Structures are given as structure tokens and as C-alpha cells.
Amino acid sequence: MAQIYGYIRVSTREQREDRQLVAMRNFGVEDRNIFLDKQSGKDFDRKAYRKLLKKLRPDDTLVIKSIDRLGRDYSETLEQWRIITKEIQAAVVVLDMPLLDTRQKERDLTGTFVADLVLQILSYVAQQERDFIMQRQAEGIEAAMARGVKFGRPPKERPEAFAEVLEAWERGEISAREAGRRLGVNYKTFQSWVSEKEIE
């Protein structure tokens, strides 16, 4: 007997899956057939998703809330769609996009073709958006650095005793490790402060 499965994905453990879960139940997916990953969509190396693929059989239906819940990489999402619909021969229903519904009994060959075509367009557009975002981020960081904006944690302030400890280290009376211990930092931080002092 054909089964209806649901797949839910949220990007982090802190994010809630409630909306997707409600949508699955409203569609008629039983809780025992719902698979959940709390993981990034950058690839398909996800535990629950892999388990779901092993369960899917011909004529089963996979329900997802939106296409980006399946994955965020254009080429990999298309490949997974092909595996599910062509190799496994299960149907896919994307709740937020009625055109992405490949249930054979309810759609003819033209409908399936349209679903595949719409998926390709949506996946391509989503990939382009991500590429543009990454490009804008890189350009923003480059422009900020050109303005002298510093990224990362601010450097530690040198303690008042630094000059005295530095003199002792320069005279060879103490090691860099001992100098760091006296200043309450590790020896690498002390050496970094020495390098900064030389530049000054």
C-alpha cells in the first residue's frame, strides 16, 4: 500500500519546525511518517533525509512545505528530485507551490513536465540569489576593510606591567612563557604584543 511521507528541515537546532509540522498534518501525513532534520540545506548528507530515501517506494508520496526545505544547492536539489521521481518513482508534493505536484494519478504527463520545469527555474533563481548575496557580502567586507574597519575580536589590552615584564624578557631573565604567565596570558599573546611593540 502506497505511503505518504513528510520531510521537514530547519537550519539550526534553535529554529522551530511547528509551521511545517502543522502543514504536514493538515495534508494528512501521519506523525510516524514525518522525518525531521535540524541541519543546513547546503548538501544532502542528512541523517533523517537518508533514512527517508530508503523508505520511499514506487507510488509513495513525499510532501514538503517548500522547495528550499528539500535543499539549497541548485544542482543537488535537481538531482534529488530526479532520484525521487524517476529512479524511486515516488511522487513529490510541494505545499507552497501547487505546480510542484507530480502525483501521477492526478496529473498527466504534461503536468509532470511542467512540475520538473518549474522546479528547474525556481532552483536556478534560488541559486542565483545565494550567489548574489555571497558576492554582496564579499564586496561589503572588502569595502569595510578599505575604510579601516577591523573584523574579529578586538585585541587584548596590554596590562600595566607589560613594559616591566618586556624589559625582563629582553634582558633574558625570563622566558616568553614566564612573561605570559606574569601577565595572565599565554606566551603567544605575549609574543604578539612584542611584535606590535616593535612595529610601533
Q: Which helix (H) or strand (E) is 34 found in, with range?
A: strand 34-38
Query: How many Cβ atoms are within 10 Å of 167's Cβ, its own excluded?
Result: 10
Candidates 11, 40, 66, 192; catalytic one = 11
Residue 7: alpha-carbon gap to chain centroid:
17
Could you give the CA distance from residue 8 to residue 17 in angstroms, rounded to a whole number?
A: 7
The set of residues, in sequence order, having a beta carbon less than 8 Å from that of 53 and lying 6+ positions away, is 83, 84, 88
**Residue 66 is among the residues annotated as catalytic for this protein:** no
**Which stretch of DSSP H or E encloses residue 56?**
none
Q: Which three cell numbers stand for residue 25?
A: 498534518
What is the set of active-site residues? 11
